[in-house]
Structure 1
Amino acid sequence: MVGPMAHSRARANPADGKPPVRRAASAAAVLFLLVGVLGFVPGITSGTADLRFAGHDSGAHLFGVFQVSALHNLVHLLFGVAGLVLARTVDGARAFLVGGGAVYLVLWVYGLAVGHDTGANVLPVNDADDWLHLGLGVGMIALGLLTGRARR
């Protein structure tokens, strides 16, 4: 049997009472931060010796699949920080998810339009990145719209 003191010492769950859109935005932001950091970690990112600041000639691949550069990783880190800041309010969280999703859809189109082996591919992106950007864009917009609806 648990005594009355058990609950007084228990840690409060930081998500208790937090609107779903804020939780979704916070989770997405933390994932972007994690991906940004992992993009610099040898072993998780292959070819870190060939990591370039920017450009299509960066030879680093996160999880051996997604082409990354230092700029690409920094964009993920900045996106994560922005998400955590915006997730502090319902309107900010919704704006991060829907607006960020729109940004990722633009990146998807960019990846389809730019030649992967050209100087215009500054981030850089490859086919795997393109499909991930499509999924992120659609997923973030869906989360922003579905979790950001006003409660009745």
Structure 2
Amino acid sequence: MTLPPAHARARRNPAEGRAPVRRAAFAVAVVFLIIGLLGFVPGVTSDFADLRIAGHQSGARLFGVLQVSVLHNLVHLVFGVAGLTLSRTVTAARTYLVGGGAIYLVLWLYGLAVDHGSAANVLPVNAADDWLHLGFGAGMVALGAATARRPRR
């Protein structure tokens, strides 16, 4: 077996040959990691001094709009790490996208059902979060379905 020249190997795209569902899961995971980290950055998160561990009393807003807490940011970071881990195989990547998307759709329904000013709003979420969760959930499920491998004929 002969290897291509060193300069050809150095330019190889690491995503080359990776199944689309794996690339999609990896990209979604990176987005979750970025969002989770930005929730801890003063300036990107307004009213940072009002950041609470959990609960509706957290007055911190990611990009000045999305209500966040330490717990909310940690959920995003956990979803990101899970996505990086699960993007290693086609089956796990699809499970991450579809299953994670379903979880975010349930979180959207939770946000619609819970009184945003009540103690039951532990993450916390607001109306902007609700719509973002709907978008993430639907987008992840759609990516999982759209990037599924079709049987070859």
The match for 1:84 is 84
The match for 1:10 is 10
3-state DSSP of counterpart to 2:64: coil
What residue identity is the alignment partner of 1:58? S
Alpha-carbon distance in 2 for matches of 1:89, 1:76? 21
Q: TM-score, normalised by structure 1?
A: 0.94
The match for 2:19 is 19
1:151 CA displacement: 4.9
What residue identity is the alignment partner of 2:12? A
Give unmatched runs, 5+ long, in structure 2: none
RMSD: 1.5
Aligned-pair identity in percent equals 72
Give unmatched runs, 5+ long, in structure 1: none
Alpha-carbon distance in 2 for matches of 1:51, 1:75? 15
Aligned length: 149
Q: TM-score, normalised by structure 2?
A: 0.93
3-state DSSP of counterpart to 2:83: helix
Does structure 1 residue 122 correspond to structure 2 residue 122? Answer: yes
Alpha-carbon distance in 1 for matches of 2:133, 2:65? 14
1:13 CA displacement: 1.0
Alpha-carbon distance in 1 for matches of 2:20, 2:31? 16
What residue identity is the alignment partner of 1:69? S
The match for 1:32 is 32
1:150 CA displacement: 2.6
Does structure 1 residue 69 correspond to structure 2 residue 49? Answer: no
Alpha-carbon distance in 1 for matches of 2:144, 2:102? 11
1:5 CA displacement: 6.8
